[in-house]
Amino acid sequence: MPDATSVTHFHANNGTALSLDVERRQGEFHLQASLTLPGKGVTALFGASGSGKTSLLRMIAGLDRPDSGTIRLGEKTLTDTRRGIQVPPHRRRLGVVFQEARLFPHYRVRGNLAYGLHPSMRSRVDAIVELLGIGHLLQRLPATLSGGEARRVAIGRALLTAPRLLLMDEPLTGLDGARKQELLHYIDQLARDIDIPIVYVSHDPHELTAIADHLVLLDQGQVRAEGRLDVLLNRFDLTEHLGGFDAASVIAARVEMHDIHYALTRLTLEDGQTLSVPRLDASPGQRLRLRIPVRDVALALTEPRDISYRNRLHAVIQRIEPLDGSRASVELGLSVSGQALRARLTRHALDEMGLDVGMPVVALIRSVAFETR
């Protein structure tokens, strides 16, 4: 992952980039968005319920039309209200994975997968079936599938249409924790294995940090912020939207080795500093993303000897800002190995320790705090 301050490739000119400028009123609700989404990776449309993210997705898919505006995918105009263009959903070549899977109850899994099969995908059916782990379900009817299985079939069905863009509308809704984690893993695998940009609608900060590369933050029908995930996660003014109390930052690291005895995995940062996390299913050399909740980071002025925190990273304080809505706490922006890390302290601790911008500190991170991609 490149360093956290560059945002250049977000708006890079790309053949399949999605650009839109739309406006739509629905009763009291007013949605107004102007965006260019990158032509690769996972872009999250993120916001509370009622923020307009699903409306936006439906307009992109062609299921709703904006009152005014344009939607373009690469060179192709999908919607242009002024010129009277509204390409119908079946000719947009966009894969859509809906919240409720929406499998056809009268077709078996095989029939569902074949429904929109594009000739160019015929040779890849087996690979996608295997990637999603649905090979043993092919003869089953949708009514007999579990929630997670149905979602995977729905993802496969959308992929086999050879879409130019995959739209996913909160595909983890209604799944329990373990199933959620499992499906996230499949989606993540997918995002890396296939070369199709994904637009992922979500309201869950955990899902966001787990799979998104880019982020569009929607709030009451307006785009509040857009950009690279790691950059936006470090914008203190967005804390309220991006997890609030449970806000987190992400940092990239490389797997160095596994410690079999203690069942730990050691990771290294760019500058050689190391971290230990409970053993991960990843091979040495692999790049990972770690989610570190702001409340799980403590600071020390010198490296402490008698403390149970195993992960100690040398960092420099970049910013100190008050936390909206809390007189007791402050947010700190740290720089660790060229990446941004956030910490939340009490104002009392800040003053007693005499912390200030530019000071070197040791960031103590609880091992169990890691969440990985």
Partner 1 sequence: MLTEAEWQAILISLRVAGTAVGGILVPGVALAWLMARHEFRGKALLDGIVHLPLVLPPVVVGYLLLISLGRQGWLGQWLDAWFGVTLPFTWQGAAVAAGVMAFPLLVRAVRLSLEAVDVKLEAAASTLGANRWRVFFTITLPLALPGLLTGTVLAFARALSEFGATITFASNIPGETRTLPLALYTLIQTPGAEAAAARLCVLSIIIAMLSLLVSEWLARLARRRLRERDSQR
- Give the nearest distance from C-beta 208 to partner 1 in angstroms: 24
- Give the nearest distance from C-beta 197 to partner 1 in angstroms: 16
- Spell 79-112 as b/e; 16+ CB within 10 A means b: bbbeeeeebeeeebbbbbbbbebebeeeebbbbb
Give SS3 for 324: coil
Give SS3 for 186: helix
Between 154 and 253, CB nearer to partner 1: 154
Between 119 and 272, CB nearer to partner 1: 119
- Give the nearest distance from C-beta 144 to partner 1 in angstroms: 5
Between 116 and 338, CB nearer to partner 1: 116
Residues at the interface with partner 1 (CB under 8 A): 61-63, 88-96, 98, 100, 102, 104-106, 108, 115-116, 118, 139-141, 143-144, 157-158, 161
Between 29 and 115, CB nearer to partner 1: 115
Query: What are the CA-CA distances from residue 321 to residues 165, 227, 309, 318, 356 (Å)?
Result: 39, 21, 25, 10, 11
- Give the nearest distance from C-beta 164 to partner 1 in angstroms: 12
Between 29 and 104, CB nearer to partner 1: 104
Query: What are the CA-CA distances from residue 236 to residues 242, 275, 315, 321, 342 (Å)?
Result: 9, 25, 18, 8, 9
Contact 343, 299 (CB under 8 A): yes
Q: Can you tell me the distance from the alpha carbon of 252 to that of 268, in angstroms, rounded to the nearest whole number?
A: 9
- Give the nearest distance from C-beta 86 to partner 1 in angstroms: 13
Between 16 and 367, CB nearer to partner 1: 16
Between 38 and 95, CB nearer to partner 1: 95
| Among 230, 211, 335, CA closest to 273 | 335
Q: Is the dihedral of CA 217, 218, 224, 226 positive or negative?
A: positive
Between 93 and 366, CB nearer to partner 1: 93
Residues 6+ apart with CB under 8 A from 135: 129
- For 229-296, strand residue ranges (E) read 248-259, 264-268, 274-278, 287-293
| Among 194, 211, 228, CA closest to 42 | 211
Tell me the backbone φ, ψ of residue 82, rounded to 5 degrees. -70, -40
- Give the nearest distance from C-beta 106 to partner 1 in angstroms: 5
Q: Can you tell me the distance from the alpha carbon of 56 to that of 22, in angstroms, rounded to the nearest whole number?
A: 9
- Give the nearest distance from C-beta 95 to partner 1 in angstroms: 7
- Give the nearest distance from C-beta 161 to partner 1 in angstroms: 6
Contact 320, 350 (CB under 8 A): yes
